[in-house]
Amino acid sequence: MDESDGIVMRVHRVRSEVVVAACDAELIGRDLPLGDSGRTVRVSGQFYGERRVSREEILWALERATIANLLGPRVLRLAEEGGFVAPGGTGLLGGIPHAEIFSIPQ
């Protein structure tokens, strides 16, 4: 089984932006804690998608993205291998590796 088998993705088009949202599939529906406030954020299938995608599809979408929101160790490993995220260039959201990528036009 390919490690990307457990990744879901959705592409949103908002005006001129192409937003790629992808996460490790098992995170969908989970509530992640936000600091010590007692508040949480829900990992939504409506935002991240529910369709499992291949490594090639994720990398193809990231090539075209103007914004990407990535959550989970598997999807971030693929983004790092593809050169979209620098090693160590991630943070944590509720204890889960997370990165946001923005493309700034030159």
Cβ atoms of 4 and 58 closer than 8 Å: yes
Domain holding 79, by residue range, is 3-102
Task: Read off the pTM.
Answer: 0.91
What are the per-10-residue average pLDDT scores of the chain (106 residues)?
A: 75 94 97 90 96 95 96 96 92 95 80
Which one, of 8, 16, 14, 17, lies nearest residue 72 by Cα?
A: 8
If phi > 0 it is left, if psi is from -120 to 50 it is alpha, else beta; for residue 41 that is beta
Q: What does the pLDDT look like over 31-61, one tens digit per residue?
A: 999 888 889 999 999 999 999 999 999 999 9
Q: In total, how many domains does the chain have? A: 1
Find where tokens 């990407």 sit.
Answer: 68
Say which CATH number the domain at 17 has. Answer: 3.30.1860.10
Count the neighbouring beta carbons within 10 Å of the beta carbon of residue 78: 21
- Residue-level pLDDT at 3: 52
Strands 17-24 and 31-33: unpaired
